[in-house]
Amino acid sequence: MKRPWFGILLSGMAIHANATGRLADVQVIDRETGSILPAYRSHGEYWVAGRPGARYSIVIQNHRGERLLAVTSVDGINVISGETGAWGQSGYVFNAGERYEIAGWRKSNTEIADFNFTAASSSYAARTGRPANIGVIGVALFLERPAPAPPRIDYYDPLARGANSSKDEAAAQPAPRLEEVKPRAASPAEKLGTGHGAREYSYVQNTTFDRLSSTPNEVIKIRYDSYENLVAMGVVPARPAWQPAPNPFPDSTLPRYVPDPPGG
């Protein structure tokens, strides 16, 4: 008998996010401004520019018409359990078409510690002795194994059909429920990491999820750093400095009029 994989059944919805995946949309939101951070593509990777000190969240929307498991990590650490990230760990279970905002490190079924962009040396990963993977968000997506079809039951019913009646299929029994729901390149400045911020209320439930396979059906990776560092690495173009409009007659004097007398 296959053992169930455990996950978190989501509670609540979130704002729309632009697509970066095939099975689900994944984007990063600046919670201070409410804006979606644009994803820059460089050398086959997605990058976003974070603002130091800003709280952020990871928004995921399930494209599928069935449940989907999203094992999510930040800086190489599972956002639910705090373990060094691996595919086989717990994740968030999305119902068909569901959208949800993952806003922090999960502390319990009712509380998180919010994500915030901070200096790498002050990040949760560095503070727990795991600085090797700072600057990356990962979402491993798993499809669910379909529930087995109910067994076919043939029986002989002489009272209903008579002594010579043929065999008939029994009424289909409902499928068993699976859920058990209970109430780097060099940069000019220190790179960004994710801090362990203030506590917030965030409610979820436990559930089981039978994965279709032991390896993900899709992995989405989004790297991040400060805008200045992304410019220095060539990931995004530098903003051009403002310059005044050119003057076709720079040496010409302005028209002269009668000046005011001294004292106005």
105 within some domain: yes
Residues above pLDDT 90, as percent of the chain: 60
**Structural domains of the chain, count:** 1
- Is 213 exposed, middle or buried, given 0-12, 13-18 or 19+ CB atoms closer than 10 A? exposed
Give the integer Cα–Cα distance in Å for 151 and 147: 12
Is the model's pLDDT at 169 over the cut of 50?
no
Question: Could you tell me if residue 157 is inside a domain?
Answer: no
Average pLDDT over residues 19-47: 89
* Residue 165 falls inside a structural domain: no
Domain-located, residue 246 = no
**Distances, alpha carbon 220 to alpha carbons 58, 141, 150, in Å:** 12, 8, 35
Within-domain flag for 260: no
Q: pLDDT tens digit string along 206-259?
A: 999 999 999 999 999 999 999 999 999 999 887 766 667 777 877 776 666 766
Does the model's pTM come out above 0.85? no
Asked if residue 69 has pLDDT above 50, the reply is yes
Tell me if 88 is assigned to some domain.
yes
Residue 170 in domain: no
State whether the Cα torsion 238-239-242-247 is positive or negative: positive
| 113: containing domain | 5-147+179-232
Q: SS in 3 state form for 29-46?
A: EECCCCEECCCEEECCEE
Could you tell me if residue 59 is inside a domain? yes
**Confidence category of residue 22, pLDDT binned at 50, 70, 90:** confident
